Amino acid sequence: MSDGSSIGTLVAILRREIARLAPGDRLPSSRDLITRHGVGPVTVSRAIALLAAEGAVVTRPGSGTYVATRRPQPAGGEPDTSWQAVALAGRHVLPDRPDEQSGTGLPPDTISLSGGYLHESLQPTRLLGAALARAARRPDAWHRSPAAGLSTLRTIFARQAGGDIGPEDVLVTGGGQGALSMLFRAIAAPGSAVLVESPTYPGALAAARAAGLHPVPVPIDDEGLRPDLLADAFAMTGARLLYCQPTFHNPTGTVLSPERRRQIADVTRAAGAFLIEDDFARHLGHGRPVPGPLVADDRDGTVIHLTSLTKPASPSLRIGAVVARGPVMRRLLGMRRVDDFFIARPLQEAAVELLSTPTWERHLRTLAIALQHRCAILADALARELPDWTLARVPEGGLHLWLRLPPALTEATVADAAATRRVAVNLGHHYFPAEPPATHLRLGFAAAADPADLPEAARRLALATRDHRPTTG
């Protein structure tokens, strides 16, 4: 029997014994437990420690282990939290987005076409483990980190951004989502408008609304955000902030065309506004050259660049970076000192180790091949199984396909039917800041356990929609 199972077995036995005892009663000594249950002293000490952490027992050095006083149960069984409705009145309610979870809490045998992260088989798990182990061996691994982040990591992110960006222009963040929340709170006053692509990343909409901002949609087309409508939106709203994803836009996969990249920056600059460039997919290309970041050509601090390592590596590598210049960087540093002081140094050191090895570049090349392969498999399967669904494009990067449903189908109908066939999908209306112009689904090809699952998922979706398609006559 393994140590883990021995500890679990002993904990279960002791819980039953504790249930029969009264608060203050003494448990058998460690020596008695070792003899009675045939386990080692380490197993006993760890089992007692787990029970103490749960509040089931208290240990008194030199005296023994005793049953803890049980917490009183509220009358009626369930606690009464109804008072919170009054206390929270007037606060914006942020909806849960369970469909954004990739493989979390899904029924067995479900094929995940939802979520925004790589399946474990695509993550560089061994590389991450080795990087973390090397980082932990550094003598200063647990020292306090500078507020802006480790200089070596900031230098790496500055080099990736390009242009004349230096480490002094980089703030290391705890991933991309937290950085978005910080940026929205730092730049725009509550009650003001923030311009966003329509559709756009739901996490950005949630972060903007949590900051008290009002997302205003600006439509996109096959070349990305439309500069003419962007100029109109700035003029009508007085907004001083634009959030966009120029490269492998989520959810459509669009890449902002070279001409429009200049126009979008010029229009934003003319409006006296900031442009948040969410470059989350820079390392998720499918093998073709990826356009450089907008921030590389920015000279006056209009563009604020956001990048993260969670997408190409692991959801738990919560390391990203913001590139900004001028007073806005000083404001961000001030917020860092209020919010969380600094990002955990061991994780930053691990990121330095990861990005400094040739194996990281090899991982990105391997990942590009795998993503392109999966993308093609799912696109072909959908065209074969569901020819009346409209695929916006076969993207050259990213993790998703964006599909418009035929008029006879609603998102909820398809999602419910898909769930009965054990396929998880993302509903399209979550990606629109206002009323969606049509019904859509976002289908991911990176979260499935195996590429062979993708044609099977398309087959199940076809069966599900046939089961629930309305009849006429």
**In this structure, is the dihedral angle defined by the CA atoms of residues 123, 129, 134 and 140, taken in order, positive or negative?**
positive
Q: Are residues 434 and 421 in the same domain?
A: yes
- The pLDDT value given to residue 468: 63
Q: Among 315, 337, 356, where does a domain finish?
A: 356
> Given a cut of 60, is residue 392 above it in pLDDT?
yes
Is residue 84 one of the residues assigned to a domain?
no
Distance in angstroms (rounded) separating the CA atoms of residues 333 and 197: 28
Cite the DSSP H helix spans in 356-409: 358-385
At 101 the pLDDT is 45
Last residue of a domain, one of 314, 333, 356: 356
- Confidence (pLDDT) at 124: 95
Quick one: pLDDT at residue 76?
60
SS3 33: helix
473 within a domain of the structure (yes/no): no
pLDDT at residue 408, rounded to an integer: 86
One-letter amino acid identity for 402? W
User: Does pLDDT of 155 surpass 90?
Assistant: yes
> Distance (Å, rounded) from C-alpha 359 to C-alpha 266?
39
Question: CA 121 to CA 171: how far, in whole Å?
Answer: 31
Helical pair 41-54 and 30-37, crossing angle rounded to 10 deg: 120
- Report whether pLDDT(191) > 90: yes
**Does 125 map to a domain?**
no
pLDDT digits (tens, 9 = 90+) for 50-77: 898 888 899 888 888 999 887 766 566 6
Mark whether 246 and 228 lie in a shared domain. yes
Domain count of the fold of the chain: 3
pLDDT for 98 equals 47
User: Are residues 313 and 412 both part of a single domain?
Assistant: no
CATH of the domain at 403: 3.90.1150.10
The pLDDT value recorded for residue 92 is 62
| pLDDT at 420 exceeding the cut of 80 | yes
Q: Are 266 and 370 members of one domain?
A: no
Cβ-proximal residues to 206 (8 Å cutoff; 6+ apart), any chain: 94, 95, 97
Q: Looking at the structure, tell me whether residues 213 and 350 fall in a common domain.
A: yes
Q: Classify residue 75: in a domain, yes or no.
A: no
pLDDT in tens, 336-350: 888 888 888 999 999
**Pair 284, 431 in one domain:** no
- Per mean pLDDT, which range of 108-112, 189-193, 248-252, 268-272 is the poorest? 108-112
Percentage of the chain beyond pLDDT 70 is 92
**Rounded mean pLDDT of the chain?**
89
Q: What is the dihedral of CA 12, 16, 19, 22, to 10 degrees?
A: -100
One domain, residues 351 and 438: no
Which of 2-6, 64-68, 148-152, 378-382 reaches the highest mean pLDDT?
378-382
Question: Three-class SS of residue 392?
Answer: coil
203 and 325 assigned to the same domain: yes
- Residue 456 is predicted with a pLDDT of 96
Residue 445, in any domain of the structure: yes
Question: Do 374 and 351 reside in the same domain of the chain?
Answer: no
| 303 has pLDDT over 90 | yes
Q: Are 215 and 221 in contact (CB under 8 A)?
A: no
Q: What is the pLDDT of residue 467?
A: 66
Give the angle 274-280-286 at the CA atoms, nearest 5°.
135
**Residues 339 and 367 placed together within one structural domain of the fold:** no
| CATH number, domain with residue 215 | 3.40.640.10
83 within domain boundaries? no
Q: Please state, in angstroms and as integers, the Cα–Cα distance from residue 325 to each residue in 170, 204, 411, following that order.
A: 9, 22, 42
Task: Judge contact between 229 and 219, C-beta under 8 A.
Answer: yes
Q: Is residue 89 part of a domain?
A: no
- Write out the residue range of the structural domain in which residue 298 sits: 139-356
Q: Which of 356, 371, 393 is the last residue of a domain?
A: 356
pLDDT at 473: 44
Mode of pairing for the β-strands spanning 241-244 and 400-404 = unpaired
Q: 98 vs 275, which has greater pLDDT?
A: 275
Instruction: Tell me the C-alpha distance between 158 and 161, whole Å.
Output: 5
pLDDT, tens digit (0-9, with 9 covering 90-100), for 214-261: 999 999 999 999 999 999 999 999 999 999 999 999 999 999 999 999
What are the φ/ψ torsions at residue 243 (nearest 5 degrees)?
Answer: -110, 125
Q: Are strands 423-424 and 111-112 parallel, antiparallel or unpaired?
A: parallel
Spatial separation of the C-alpha atoms in residues 162 and 470, rounded to whole Å: 53
Q: For the domain that residue 13 is a member of, what is the CATH number?
A: 1.10.10.10
289 & 211 share domain = yes
The helix/strand/coil state of 261 is: helix
Residue 226 sits in the same domain as residue 343 = yes
For 86-121, how does the pLDDT look when each residue is reduced to its tens digit (9 = 90+)? 777 766 666 555 444 445 567 778 999 998 899 999
